[in-house]
Amino acid sequence: MLNLKKDAISVMLFILSACLVSGKASGQDNSSVIRKENAPPVKAIFVVHSSYRDIEKFRAFAEQIARLRPFGRIDMYINLTAEKADFEMPEGGSPWHEYAAYDRSLSKFFPDEKIAPFIPEELVNKNRQLLKQKVKIIRDLGLNAGYRANEPHFLPKAFFESYPHLRGPRVDHPRRSLQKEFSPCFHQKETRDMYQHMVNTLFKNVPEINTVHFNMNDAGSGFCWAEWLYSGPNGPVNCKNLNMSERVLNLVNLFKNGAGQTGHDIDIFMWGMFTNSEIDDIISHLPDNCFVRGVEKGNFPPVKNVGGMAWSANPVRGIINPLGILRTLNSNSENMPQRYSLGFSGAYDRGTERLETVEKVVDIIEDYLANPAEEGLVPALQNLQKLCVEWAGEESADRLFEAFVALDEALKLKQATIGGLSTLYWGVSTRQITRPLVIVPERLSPQEEAYFLPHVFNVSLEEARNDYMDIHGGGHNAIPMGAAGHFLSDLKKVYTSMEKITNAPEQKFLDNMAMALRIYSSVVRSCGNFNDAQMIRNRNKEVLSGPVHRPNKIPTWTGDQDLLDFNEIMRDELDNTNELIDLLENGGMDLINHAEDPTLEDTFLLGPDLIENLKQKRKIMLDHWLDIEDYMTSPFK
């Protein structure tokens, strides 16, 4: 273990205890490290989520996860859809349908005979083939399975034309969808019979399933008369007065029955858009090993969430927060068995975490479980010191230790101060990464807009074009002007420190993570610039919507301050774009989750021609650099 000087580590611990936003549990004793000598292996349940569609990469991924077998049961989610459900997409596209395009539902794997004619057979076959390939791999490795789905999922319009009496609630989001969608009504016995058949087929093919997870009343699914359906409570009149527990238990019991045929019980976890009163009603009727959580409350048992940052840092992959992982592992939980959720997916099942990153996360978990420590910050820091020696070597261990501590602090500070800044929803689905930052977006030609505007998540073309901070058509989001700068400064300290490490045992991993942090910083920088630019545009809305005009002839050394501020933001974004191009041209594309085929680029997934998009952005910004001078006064004398 790394032997830091006593005064140095004392100072470090003092700073951390004072500054970490949520690192210290109430009443914990951080005065010493107490190891559990000769402690038996921790028995746990690991539920593992990934988005690997390449079967060989999934095999390599599963082999890494299988290292945790000595410590407990491993349930690997196996029902990833093989490709996008294009048949669900309305002509011309629809932003809300992008959410649901990769949804997992029973009907996409084992459709009942009534549903099968309305789901493309080729898609079902591909989904089923991928599932069976994954099941074979986990069987070979002695692992178990998990099933994840959005249910009751909406069904095609043609299905309800044939079976109109089975139509349940409208489940799409009116402010984000360009086509209405309905899920089936579970009050109908015919619906329950269809689903029981699909569930039985699922468990017949995958009896290893121990964990089932549902997303409900969100992103493609919904129960009749749920209070928080996006279009409001709705459904058939004849089931309006049922309690929500009756509706949910209809689905729960189908899965309990299906699992019962395999001779074992299952754990069912349900998350959804439920009100507190609905949650209370559901919980009071749930059978054993069933859990539900709404927006504000629920009965989920404690779960330790561990993984990479491919979701939170989307679209960047290859970043982990070792101290955050260790602190999570060290957190107290009296529930037995211990439950762990291991996540390695990009957003909405687009993209994956890098396999080398998965390996490092498993290294941390495996070492912790083999050598469990008492709860607290000090044990986590001690384990981090040990990790830094293994990854960076004795000479660079202190530097890496300080970098990881600084990264953890930066991420906590971001959550506390600019938690609303999302590199997924701002950077990707609003295309702040690739779109040009200009003063009057309406002046862009259709040709200049063609590469980015169709991918902006918004039902209104006008809002998508003109309001950089209209996120998903749900309102005008913003952070304080200049607020992203503090986080960017903190990130820079981390990656510049990591870049100084040489001859490390894990040099390639550390180099890749430093570059990934630079790319992530670039995306955050774009988000901050577009946020600040929109604030200036909002202040000058009337001027910018008026006619082009020459400035007045009153001498001024400064001109309009907003012109000066906007020019500074434009220049920073231009420089940021150039720096990102350099990073991507020098190996950074492998650190970005992106489509391999240009036709698969969508709202939540960047395309393979990202570098060319950035070069277009740069050109368009320069072509429109002087537009602002048609509306505001530049300095002159």
- Type and span of the H or E element at 290: strand 290-293
Instruction: Tell me whether residue 334 is in a domain.
Output: no
- Type and span of the H or E element at 65: helix 55-65
Length of the chain: 637
- In this prediction, residues 236-249 reach a mean pLDDT of 96
Instruction: Tell me whether residue 408 is in a domain.
Output: no
pLDDT band at residue 637 under the 50/70/90 scheme: low
- Type and span of the H or E element at 184: strand 182-184
What pLDDT score does 451 carry? 98
Q: Judging by DSSP bridges, how do beta strands 338-344 and 304-307 pair with one another?
A: parallel
Q: What is the pLDDT of residues 443-477, one digit of tens each?
A: 999 999 999 999 999 999 999 999 999 998 877 78
Three-class SS of 221-286:
ECCCCCCCCCCCCCCCHHHCCCCHHHHHHHHHHHHHHHHHCCCCCCEEEEEECCCHHHHHHHHCCC
End position of a domain, from candidates 235, 268, 300: 300
End position of a domain, from candidates 300, 319, 344: 300
What pLDDT score does 128 carry? 98
Q: Does 294 lie in the same domain as 440?
A: no
Q: Does 432 lie in the same domain as 290?
A: no
* Structural domain boundaries, residue 621: 421-630
- In this prediction, residues 232-249 reach a mean pLDDT of 96
Please determine, for residue 424, whether its predicted confidence score (pLDDT) is greater than 90: yes
Q: What is the pLDDT of residues 262-277, one digit of tens each?
A: 888 999 999 999 999 9
Mention every residue, 6+ apart, whose C-beta is less than 8 A from residue 264: 210
Instruction: Tell me whether residue 271 is in a domain.
Output: yes
CA distance 203 to 215: 19
246 φ, ψ (degrees, to nearest 5) = -65, -40
Dihedral, 138, 140, 141, 143 alpha carbons, nearest 10: 40
Q: Does 425 lie in the same domain as 295?
A: no
Q: Does 243 lie in the same domain as 110?
A: yes
Instruction: Tell me whether residue 389 is in a domain.
Output: no
Is the peptide bond preceding residue 322 cis, with omega within 30 degrees of 0? no
Indicate the number of domains in the chain: 2
What pLDDT score does 12 carry? 42
97-100: long-range contacts, CB 8 A cutoff, minimum separation 24: 97/172, 97/177, 97/178, 97/179, 98/348, 98/457, 98/602, 98/603, 98/604, 99/176, 99/219, 99/220, 99/348, 100/150, 100/153, 100/154, 100/219, 100/220
CA distance 452 to 435: 6
Contact 546, 631 (CB under 8 A): yes
Q: Which residues pair with 594 in a beta bridge?
A: 606
CA distance 286 to 283: 5
CA distance 500 to 591: 20
CA distance 118 to 128: 16
Radius of gyration for the alpha carbons in the chain, expressed in angstroms and rounded: 26
- In this prediction, residues 585-594 reach a mean pLDDT of 97
What pLDDT score does 636 carry? 82
Please determine, for residue 602, whether its predicted confidence score (pLDDT) is greater than 60: yes
As a whole number, the mean pLDDT across the chain is 92
Angle at 315 between CA 310 and CA 321, to 5 degrees: 35
Q: Does 614 lie in the same domain as 467?
A: yes
End position of a domain, from candidates 257, 276, 300: 300
Q: Does 102 lie in the same domain as 239?
A: yes
SS3 46: strand
What pLDDT score does 554 carry? 81
Instruction: Tell me whether residue 53 is in a domain.
Output: no
Q: Which residue has the tokens 């006619």?
A: 547
What pLDDT score does 336 carry? 79
Q: Does 244 lie in the same domain as 112?
A: yes
Instruction: Tell me whether residue 581 is in a domain.
Output: yes
Token digits of residue 536: 């200036």
Q: What is the pLDDT of residues 333-384, one digit of tens each?
A: 777 789 999 999 999 999 999 999 999 999 999 999 999 888 888 999 999 9
- In this prediction, residues 401-410 reach a mean pLDDT of 98
SS3 591: helix
- In this prediction, residues 21-36 reach a mean pLDDT of 33
Instruction: Tell me whether residue 79 is in a domain.
Output: no
What pLDDT score does 5 carry? 35
CA distance 309 to 295: 23
Instruction: Tell me whether residue 436 is in a domain.
Output: yes
Please give the model's pTM, rounded to 2 decimal places.
0.91
